[in-house]
Amino acid sequence: MRRKAAFFLLTVFAVFMLSGFTGTFTEGSTNYVYDEAHLFSQAKIDELNEYITSVRDKAKSDFLVVTTNEPEYDDEIEAAEAIAHAWRDAGNGYGKDHQVIVFYIDIKNRNARLMEYNDREKWRLSDSEIDEINSYILNDMVNGNYGTAAGKAIQGAAECAKPGFFERIWGWITVGIAGGGAASGIALGTHNAKTTTPVRYYMRDQRVYTGRREDQFTHTTTVVQPKQTNPPTSGHSGGGSSGGSISSSGAGHSSGSHGGSIHF
């Protein structure tokens, strides 16, 4: 029994090493932020952990934020998947499908990934919603506002993952972790991944703006600009930037995951 337990712990640790993450996960952990690149203040780490704890039951998902500046390999897709698998193998993940959403930042290679994992591929986020979230935080990533970007990414994912359309809209109005308070301004989409003309809902000044646009997401690299209600200020308006790009979302390298990447 001891040998089996030791082998299990070594396996989980080895997976972490592959992703560039050198810590360990424990079953039932309530720590969801692993900032090995030292990008966040302690206040931001506490804020993220508190928010994730408060929202995971509503969103029916675990959430992880992991940063590194010493990855063992350069592919952010494989790294995020390794982290999700290790979280699951440690006995974590929400519900019987071990649902988890990972926001991973690789500072050395200037890549980030927002990824969803569960055993049965019953997605809580659509590809288009992941792309909208990544697009909205792109400027923050390019400008080094990593704590703000992480807050927006987790809040966006949590609100999109919540069941019920009106609950998600109300959550965006009332929840203020995302650095911009109630007017966090992220574009939300429908959960129908098959539609190519989804209705987008844009939050500005506690009002909901709707719009339509044609979207056909493939595995290409593109920059997506969310709808703006105010003119950009000094080029830092959120969503889209000449200094970075997003890779549109789709299936990961292994089964059970999908997500999209940011290159900053």
Contacts by 165-169, CB closer than 8 A, 24 or more apart? 167/58, 169/201, 169/208
Work out the pLDDT band at 73, boundaries 50, 70, 90: confident
pTM above 0.75, yes or no: no
Residue 162 confidence (pLDDT) above 60: yes
**Highest mean pLDDT of the ranges 34-38, 194-198, 239-243, 250-254:** 34-38
Q: Are strands 245-251 and 111-117 parallel, antiparallel or unpaired?
A: unpaired
**pLDDT at site 21:** 56
Do residues 167 and 174 touch, judged by C-beta distance below 8 A?
Answer: no
Q: Using CA atoms in the order 130, 50, 117, 123, what is the torsion angle rounded to 10 degrees?
A: -60
Average pLDDT over residues 199-224: 34
C-alpha 162/C-alpha 43 separation (Å) is: 26
Give the strand order in the sheet containing 207-212: 187-188, 199-204, 207-212
Work out the pLDDT band at 10, boundaries 50, 70, 90: very low
Considering the chain, what is the average pLDDT of its residues? 74
Percent of the chain at pLDDT > 70 equals 61
Structure tokens at 74: 């350069």
Structurally, at CATH architecture level, domain 2-263 sits in Roll (3.10)
More confident call, 251 vs 35? 35
Residue 254 confidence (pLDDT) above 90: no
Residue 224 confidence (pLDDT) above 70: no
DSSP 203: E
Work out the pLDDT band at 130, boundaries 50, 70, 90: very high
CA distances for 103 relative to 183, 193, 197, 261, angstroms: 22, 21, 27, 10
Dihedral sign, Cα of residue 215, residue 218, residue 222, residue 226? positive
**pLDDT at site 23:** 58
